[in-house]
Amino acid sequence: MIQFSDMRFIFRILPILLIAYYLLPAKARPWILLLGSLAFYAVDEPYYFLLLVGATLVNYLLGRGSFHKKTALFVVSVLLDVGLLAGFKIMDMWNQNFLLPLGLSFYVFKMISYQSDLYHGRIRRATFRDTAVYFTMFPQILSGPITRFSYIEGNDFWRGKHYGKSKKNYLLDIFYQLDDGVRYFVLGLALKVILADHLAILWKEIGTIGYESISTPLAWLGVVAYSLTLYFDFWGYSLMAAGLGVMLGFPFVRNFDQPYSAASVSDFYRRWHMTLGQWFRDYVYIPMGGSRKGSLRTLLNLIVVWLLTGLWHGAGGTFLLWAGALCLIIIWEKFVLKKAGKLGKVLGHVHVLILIPLSWIIFALPTMQDIGIYFSRLFPFFGQGVAVNASDILTNLKAFWGYLVAGFVMLIPGWKRIYQKYKNHDVMTMILFVVFWLCVYSLANAMGNPFYYLRF
């Protein structure tokens, strides 16, 4: 599998694509991006490639009806997209060896938003080329972000239009886009390769030992390790995807905003996978009435959104349990803690720092039995069992303390402001240069771990 942290992508695919993108005539850029994106997907998913192409063609054709406000065709298009996603999720649930098409949930959600925005007049009808670019563009096809069609509709730079700018200024624009994009990409690569991938080893070590055999302290260290792994994996991916978009002339997409600084669980999920949360808000929660139609309706809307969120991640019982637990916490925050003043604010932060990491364990483990065993080690008064090695936490802390400390340091709010302030400074450039080659060294000496969201 070729992914953004693969050296074949970094040193072969990406340079070739960028050279073609910027050295060939500017009018060819949309076609280069489309063909490059299709080729990128076809390499990883040769069997599901035709599914993506077929879904793209069908949505473009049905989009004509949505644009002309033909309700029946709009409903048919949405039902087809939802049915496509639901069908594969059900097959995944019933067959453990079944692999979902890469990026299915992400490009299907784009297709649904496209149909809805056309139907409601929020975007104009576009050419097949532009529509296909939006659905398939390689920086977003694997794991998002889930942008709207306006992301490409309102941006002519990628189409090669420079509106009378001198050649010098136009070339400077390209240079600045590439420079910014590369910097974001390197930052994301470092978070993924140096932090997430190494912390993932600690989590895998715990699985190798066996959840029933670990000590309670090591079980809690596992909660920390998995939470940090997922955090830096997705933050890293989000920066890399956004950086690739910037290299191609698109605006930076915010998909991750220091979620552990959040004041509550609901605030956490406004900061985590931001474009997914915004999608559910704009296309499910608000159309159902949001918070405008009384407490009971708000309660129902929250339950529906979190049920769909769980199903989006997977049709298995563990994902529904994870989503249900979060939904209950958010309902508790919204209807009870909100009225508790300062105490409510304190408890909201406690939820983020303790309950969110515990919820990730439900998310991580494949069966209800594994979840039960792991929580019996976290809270041994709920279960029985003796650790094989009561000092196992010391062994793992000795091996991974540096990555854990670095992870906690990177959780501190304010890094974004520091980077924005000094990003063009020579010292920052040198730091990024060194970090990049440290990442390359790490990649050359280890098997790269896939991004956690690749099969959702």
Residues 3 and 9: beta-carbon distance below 8 Å = yes
Give residue 391's Cα distance to chain centre.
Answer: 36
* 3 state DSSP class of 225: helix
Cα–Cα distance for residue pair 358/227, rounded to 1 Å:
8
Cα–Cα distance for residue pair 373/211, rounded to 1 Å:
6
313 counts as catalytic: yes
Residues 448 and 440: beta-carbon distance below 8 Å = no
Give the pair of three-digit tokens for residue 267. Answer: 């605030």
DSSP 252-309: P---B--GGG-SSHHHHHHHBSHHHHHHHIIIIITTTTTTSS-HHHHHHHHHHHHHHH
Query: Residue 17 half-sphere exposure, CB side, CA atoms within 13 Å?
Result: 26
Catalytic residue among 68, 313, 349, 351: 313
Give the pair of three-digit tokens for residue 310. Answer: 């769980």
Give the pair of three-digit tokens for residue 100. Answer: 């979902």
Residues 107 and 123: beta-carbon distance below 8 Å = no
Cα–Cα distance for residue pair 288/300, rounded to 1 Å:
9
Strand partners, 256: 272
Distances (CA, A) of 175 to 172, 178, 212, 248: 5, 5, 55, 11
* Dihedral angle sign, alpha carbons of residues 226, 229, 232, 237: negative
Cα–Cα distance for residue pair 246/175, rounded to 1 Å:
11
Tell me the catalytic residues: 313
